[in-house]
Each structure stands twice: as structure tokens, then as C-alpha cells.
Structure 1
């Protein structure tokens, strides 16, 4: 492959390439595998960076272990993320009294794995928090109460700590073969200053910015989309459902936007030439979104609505009829395959919250793909790990039979699909062909098992876009990134 001025100018037989470009700098890969670089279509850079530099609770195995980590953490602010009480033997989070006892005089903010609720020390709580929706006297805080304490915790982070977290995240993403990330910022997530600082960092993956609110903020954003919340999350029981939660029948979640508000936002963005979008998880939330699109369609017309390429984040509960409608409106589904890997299946968190029948019906990637909805894969980090090959594997080996997609479709959704989701639809970006940007990753080869009845060991040498027999089994060992290149510029190289 020959690259000039950040563009792929030739691909073919090695000896021919050397003859055509005799003065080129030659990089020998010694059999390493080259593929289009990944795009992570949904990230939260600062929170993900704080997970790398702060208190990682994603592997915490019990309530007692969490309290020990609080006690041992350095202060004055203990920022942690990733606890999941559904995996603990106690099957409950700690009380505020238990947190205060472990914390001493430290300020504690610990977001749940889905980032839609948090455990906090009493030092973060104000009278305004106590009066807000989602307040709990002794348990995790959700909804507006969570937003209050999250904002207070963020205010305790110094600009230097924030910048270090953002740099750590971008560096780590590049080391995973990711050349572009879609930052899903918003007033209840990170703030304008946080996004503005992130956009100054240009030596790593390209940052495509979204702002999840109705109003523009004067920054170079791609759209008023991303985590513009229609509802919450299944794990925190704030995703809006048409039927109550099985394990807490007194609630059906929370609907934050009504259909007319959704329609008004779609109309304004369509007319302004901006990409609109929403966070939508529960089936009641999806019904509200579909109704909002139907109302907006009557105002701006189908061609204008479809050409805007509005996007929805997560899309975990969607019917075949709704998927067909979304496809007709040109909607992008920004989805996270590792959600199913983490919480799907007949005994996972989804089944605990929704019951066995509903719990296995989430994240139907094949349904969306069959309807013609454009898929773009992401991690929602720090909710799930930044691991694009694992995400491709999770999309192929879905925990619910019939919901997975082919390796080729999954790989495309995590590469070209991410560029298209951000409005780059020139037909070449996200591929390896002459005329395409030289944005790619180099992967260490290894012995992998070939899928099929005649299973055998071979070297990783097949283009994962091809879909032909011989594609290595994604349930085997996954490749390690050696180098990541964005527009001809190396942004990561393994030492």
C-alpha cells in the first residue's frame, strides 16, 4: 500500500509498488495485518479517562470490596465508576451511612456501570439535591438528583486533572486501533468547558463532537445529538418501559422528553442543517421517538428528514415495524454490542430487570440491519470497555439467537459506519482503496482457529470485510494493535 499526503494512492503487488514508488519510505510489516481503523461512535472522554486514572470499580466483586476501595483511595475527591450490584452476592449497593463510614472526610462520587445513577457521600448532597427527582434517602441517586451531585463532583476536578484524563483516554483509544471517536457531551454529562478542552487535543484520534441538548453552544459540533435523553438505563431502572420492571413493579422508568418535544427538536435541526439525535433505550421511549419523527415528517417532509441523517443512541428495544420506519427516515442507530455481551442472555442483568421473556429481546442488530438502518458501533465508554474487536465479536455472537450479524457487517459498522454516522459518506472513507484517506491500523498476527466444521489453526491473514470462508473465528484470541494511522499520520505505535 502506497500513501502520499495522507491519501492511499496505490494498493497491489509488493514488487510493483516498489517499482512505482522507488523513492518512498518503506515500512516493513513482516506479515502483520492491515485494516481500516475503527471508529468509536459513542464515548465520554473525560469520564473514560478518569476510569483509567481514577478508581476502577468494574471488576469489584462485592459490596465489602467496594467499601474497602473507598477507604483505601486517596482524597480529597474519590471519583470512581463501574459498580454493578447485580453481580454481587449481597445483590444491593451500600447505604450512604456505609459510604460515609468508609470515606471519612473524603468526597465520594461513584457512578453505576450504566452512568445513570451514583453512590455519593453526604458531603456532596445539598438541599436542592434532596428536593430533586430521583432523590433517595439512603440509596443511589438517579435522574435530576444524580445530575446535581455529578455536577458538584465535576466541579471538584481541576482543569489539570481533566486534561490528563482526556489525554489518557485518547491515547488508550488510539492503542486499540481507533482513529476517530464521537464525544457525546451535554449539560448533564460533562459541560461546555469540558468539551471545549477536549476539542483542543488534536494529536490523537479525531474527535467528532455532539451536544445533547436543544440549544447550540458555539463550539464546532456535528449536531445536537448524542445523549439527548429521552429516558435512562435498564440497570438503574430509569429506561422508560411500556410495562413495569419485573424486579421493581412500582416503576416503569422515566420519560424525559414527550413526542412533541422530540418533533420540535427534529424540525429545528433539520431546518438548520444540523444532525439531531437522542438517547433512547426503553420501548416506551422508542414509541415516543417514533411518534416524534412522524410529527416532524409532516412538517419538513420525508426527503429533508431522511437526508439529515439524524441518529439514535443505543436503540435497545425496537420492534420490526419501528425499525422499518427508522430506516425510511434515514436514521443512524449508534449501538453498543458489548451491552449484550455484558448484560444479555437468559440470566443477565436485562433478564433480572425485565424478566426472562423481555430480557432476551434487547439489542436486535439483525432486525435493524435487515430493515436498512445504518449501524455505527461504539462502546459508550466508560460504560463498556474500549475494545472494538471484542465489540465486533459480540455483534456476531449475540446472546440471543438470530439477533447477531455477519462478521463483515459488524466490522463495517465499527469502521465505515462510524464515518457515515458523522456525515462522511464519500464512498471511500473507512475503506482501504486508492483515493481513501490513509486511516488504518496494523495488527499483530497470531494463531487463530478457523470457523467451520474443518476447524484448524491458521495465521490471521484474511480481510475481515470479505465474509468469505476462512475468516478467523472471533471467539478465539483477538489481534493486538501495533500501529494506528489517521490521514497518514501515526497516532499510536507500540514500543
Structure 2
């Protein structure tokens, strides 16, 4: 492959390239393979960076372990993330009294794995939080109460800590073969200053900015989309359901109704920008369908569909709803590792929703079959920044029939991400003459190939072309050697 001025100008398997470019710098790959770089279509950069530089609770296995981690953490602010009580033998989070005892005078903010609720020390709980929806006298705070305490905790993070977290995240993403990330910012998530500082960083992956609110910020963004919340999350029991949760007397929280959704779609379409929403529960999806239907009556189908609005997560969607979304040109930004973490008959989804509903989430094949464009992401820090694991999770879905092919999964994590951001030139996200030279170089390990009598073979081909059987990426995954964005190396393994 030959690259000139950041663009692929030649690809072939013979010596013609050397003849056409006699003065080129030649990079020998020694058996490594080149593929289009990944795009992570849903990230929260600063929060993900704070997970890398702060208190990582994603592997804690009990209430006592979490409390011990808080005791040993340095203050004055202990910012942690990732606890998940559904994995613990106690099957409950710590109480506020337990957090206060472990804090020993430090201020503590610990977001749940889905970032829709948090454990906090008492000194973070203001009068406004006590009066807000989602307040609990002793348990995690959710909804508006969570937004209040998160805002207070964010204000205690210094600019130096924030920039260090952002750089750590971008460097880590590049080391995973990611050349572009979609930052899903918002007033209750990160704030305008945070987004402005992130966009000012020039090293690392390209940052595509979205703002999850009704009004434009004073920062350039691709759209009023991303985490514009229609509802919450299943783990925190704030995703909006048509029937109550199986393990609690609640149906979640619906933050926007069909009319509000329609007004936002019309506004963004007329402004020529993408609209989008965070939608998880089936009641939230019903509101989104109503909103698009109302917007269609105002705008007409062609104008609405041409805007390529996007939805984040899309965990509960019927066949009929998927077909309607495809007709409206909707892009589904989805996270395969959600199923890997919480799917299946014994996972968190089944605990919260019951056996029948719990195995029906994240139906990627249903969306793809309807013609909805899929863009894969991590929602980091909710799940890990691990594109090959996401490809594997999309192929080996825990519910039979919900997965997609290896080629479809790889495309959704590469070209699909560019399409989700409005790049529809037919070249970006591929490797062919005329395409941006945005790619990653990978060394391959030995991969077990399903359907081949458990034999082990070397996977040294472009994964889009497929291999015999389905690659089982639970074995050694390809290791990133170099990540290149528009011809510029943004990561090289030392």
C-alpha cells in the first residue's frame, strides 16, 4: 500500500508500487496485517480517562472490597467508577453510612457501571440533591439527585487532572487501533469547558463532538445528539419500561415524550445537524417512534431521512420498530460489550427484567436486517475500550439469532462509525485508492476457529474477507503495532 499526503494512492501484491514510488519510505510489516482503523462511536473521554488514572472499581467483587478500596484511596476527592452490585454475593450496594466510615473525611463519588447512579459521601449531598427526584436517604442517588452530586464532584477536579485524564484516554484509544472517537458530551455529563479542552487536544484520535441537549453549546459540535436522555439505564432501574421491572416496583424514568422528541428532530433537521437520543427501555423506544412519526408529518420522509439522525444503545426494539427506524434513515450507535457483560439467562438483564425479557436485548441482527446502519462503540467507561472484543461479542451474541457476521461486525466498528458521523463518501473507513490513509497495523496471535475441529490457525488476512469458520476472539486477539490517522502515526508500539 502506498500513501501520499495522507491518502492511499496504490494497493497491490506485486512490485508495481515500488516502481511507481521509487523514493518512498518503505515500512516492512514482517507478517503483520493492515486493516481500516476502528471508530468508537460512543465515548466519554474525561470519565474514561479518570478510570485509567483514578479508582477503577470494575473488578471489585464485594461490598467489603469496595469499602477497602475507598479507605486506601488518597483524597481529598476520591473519584471512582465501575461498581456493579449484581455481581456481588451481597447483591446490594454499600449504604451511605458505610461509605462515610470508609471515607475517613474524604469526599467520595463512585459512579455505578452504567453511570446512571452513584454512591457518595454525605458531604456531597446538598439540599438541592435531597429535594430532587432520585434521592435516597441511604442508597445510591439517581436521576436529578445524581446530576446534582456529580456536578459538585466534577467541580472539585482540577484542570490539570482533567487534561491528564483526557490525554490518557486518547493515548489508550490509539493504542487499541482506534483513529476516531465520538464524544457524547452534555451539560450533566461533562460540561462545555471539558468539551472545549478535549477538542483543543491535537494528538491522538480525531474527536467528533456531540452535545446531548436541546440547545447548541458555545463549542462546535456535529449534532445535538449522543446522550440526550429519553430514559436511563437498566442496571440503575431508570430505563423506561412498558411493564415494571421484575426485581423492583418501578417502570423506570421517561425524560422526554414523543412531542418533545419530534420538536428536537424538526429543529435539528432545519438547522442541518444531526439529532439523536439515548434510548434503552421499550417505553423509551415507543416514545422515540412516536417522535419520529410526528416529525415525519412536519418535514416529510425524504428530508427527515436525509439528516441521518442517530440513536444511542437501542437495546429494546421490535422488528416493526427497526423497519420504521431504517425508513427514517436512523443510525444505531450500539455497544456489543453490553451483551457480553450483562446478557444471557443469568446476566443482569435477566435479573432486572426476568427471563423472557432479559434475553431479548441488543438484537443487532434485527437492526441490520431492517437496513439500519450500525456503528459500534464502547460507551466507555461503561465498558472497556476493546474493539476486537466488541467484534467478538457482536458475532457471538449470548442470545441465538441476535448476532451478526464477522464482516458485518468489523464494518460496523470501522466504516459504520464514519457513516454515523455523517461521512458518506464511500471511501472513508475502507482501504482503497482515494481513501484517507486511516488504518491500524496488527500482529496476530493463534486464534481458535469455530467449526474447524478446534484446530488452531494463524489469522493473517484482512478480517473483512473472512476466514474458514468464525474467528473466536476469546483467544489471543491481534495486537496493535501502529495506528495511523490520515497518514499521520498517532500510536506506535515501543
TM-score, length of structure 2 as denominator length: 0.99
Aligned mates of 1:38, 1:243 — CA distance in 2: 37
Which residue is equivalent to 1:440? 439
| Corresponding pairs, count | 494
Contact 2:444 2:477 in 1 (8 A): no
Q: Could you tell me which residue of structure 2 aligns to residue 22 of structure 1?
A: 22
Deviation (angstroms), 1:454: 4.7
Within a 5 Å distance, the mapping from 1:263-274 to structure 2 comes to: 263-274=262-273
The answer to whether 1:127 aligns with 2:127 is: yes
Q: 1: CA distance between counterparts of 2:419 and 2:286?
A: 25
Which residue pairs with 1:60 in the alignment?
Answer: 60
State the Cα RMSD in Å.
0.9
| Distance in 2 (alpha carbons) for counterparts of 1:230 and 1:471 | 36
Partner Cα separation in structure 1 for residue 226 and residue 467 of structure 2: 35
Q: What's 1:152 paired with?
A: 152
Q: Indicate conservation of the 8 Å contact 1:392/1:407, yes or no.
A: yes
Which residue pairs with 2:205 in the alignment? Answer: 205
Q: Distance in 1 between matches of 2:373 and 2:99?
A: 44
The equivalent of 2:468 in structure 1 is 469
1:406 touches 1:467 (CA, 8 Å); kept in 2?
no
Match of 2:368 in 1: 369
**Contact kept in structure 1, 2:257 and 2:287, CA below 8 Å:** yes
CA contact (8 A) 1:36 1:440 kept: yes
Looking at structure 1, the residues matched to 199 and 459 of structure 2 have their Cα atoms a distance apart, in angstroms, of 36
The aligned counterpart of 1:164 is 164
**Corresponding residue for residue 98 of structure 2:** 98
Structure 2 distance, partners of 1:223, 1:246, is 36
Q: 1:446 Cα shift?
A: 2.0
Kept after mapping to 1: 8 A contact 2:482/2:489? yes
1:470 Cα offset (Å): 6.0
Is the partner of 2:311 in helix, strand or coil?
Answer: strand
2:250 corresponds to 1:222:
no
Any idea what SS the aligned residue of 2:195 has?
helix
Q: Do the aligned residues in 2 keep the contact of 1:462 with 1:472 (CA within 8 Å)?
A: no
Aligned pair 1:415/2:432, yes or no? no
Q: Distance in 1 between matches of 2:448 and 2:89?
A: 36
- Contact 1:182 1:207 (C-alpha < 8 Å) held by counterparts: yes
Q: Give the C-alpha shift of residue 445 in structure 1.
A: 1.9
Q: Distance in 2 between matches of 1:129 and 1:199?
A: 31
- Cross-structure match for 2:451: 452
Deviation string, structure 1 residues 48-98 (Cα, Å, up to 9, x no partner): 000000000000000000000000000000000000000001110000000
Q: Distance in 1 between matches of 2:190 and 2:218?
A: 16
Structure-to-structure mapping, 1:337-416, within 5 angstroms: 337-416=336-415
Contact 2:451 2:470 in 1 (8 A): no
Residue by residue over 1:319-356, the C-alpha shift from the partner in whole angstroms, topping out at 9 and shown as x without a partner, is 00000000000000000000000000000000000000
User: Who is 2:425 aligned against?
Assistant: 426
The 8 Å contact of residues 225 and 311 in structure 1, kept in 2 or not, is answered as yes
1:462–1:471 Cα contact (<8 Å) kept: no
Q: Distance in 1 between matches of 2:219 and 2:485?
A: 23
Instruction: Report SS of the residue matched to 2:417.
Output: helix
Shift of 1:455: 4.3
Contact 2:446 2:475 in 1 (8 A): no
- Is 1:488 equivalent to 2:487 in the alignment? yes
Tell me the residue number matched to 1:309: 308
Q: For the residues of structure 2 that align with 1:343 and 1:447, how far apart are their CA atoms?
A: 28
Distance across 2 between alignment mates of 1:449 and 1:113: 31
How far is the alpha carbon of 1:14 from its aligned partner? 4.3
SS in 2 for 1:383: coil
Q: CA deviation at 1:459?
A: 1.8
8 Å CA contact 1:109, 1:150 repeated in 2: yes
Distance in 1, Cα, partners of 2:32 & 2:13 = 16
Supply the distance in 2 between the matched residues of 1:126 and 1:415 (Cα, whole angstroms): 44
Q: Is the 8 A contact 1:276 1:311 kept in 2?
A: yes
SS state at 2:362 partner: coil
User: Could you give the per-residue CA deviations for residues 455-480 of structure 1, whole angstroms, max 9, x where no partner exists?
Assistant: 43222212211235366433432111
Matched, 1:275 2:274: yes
Deviations 1:208-245, CA, capped at 9 Å, x for gaps: 00000000012220000000000000000000000000
Q: Report what 1:86 is aligned to.
A: 86
Check whether the contact 2:459–2:467 (CA below 8 A) recurs between aligned residues.
no
Matched with 1:109 is 109
Alignment partners' CA distance in 1, 2:34 and 2:214? 41
Q: Give CA-to-partner distance per residue, 1:146-193, whole Å, 9 cap, x none.
A: 000000000000000000000000000000000000000001100000
**Alpha-carbon distance between aligned partners in 2 of 1:242 and 1:433, rounded to the nearest angstrom:** 47
Aligned to 1:203, what secondary structure does the other structure show? coil
**Shift of the alpha carbon at 1:29?**
0.5
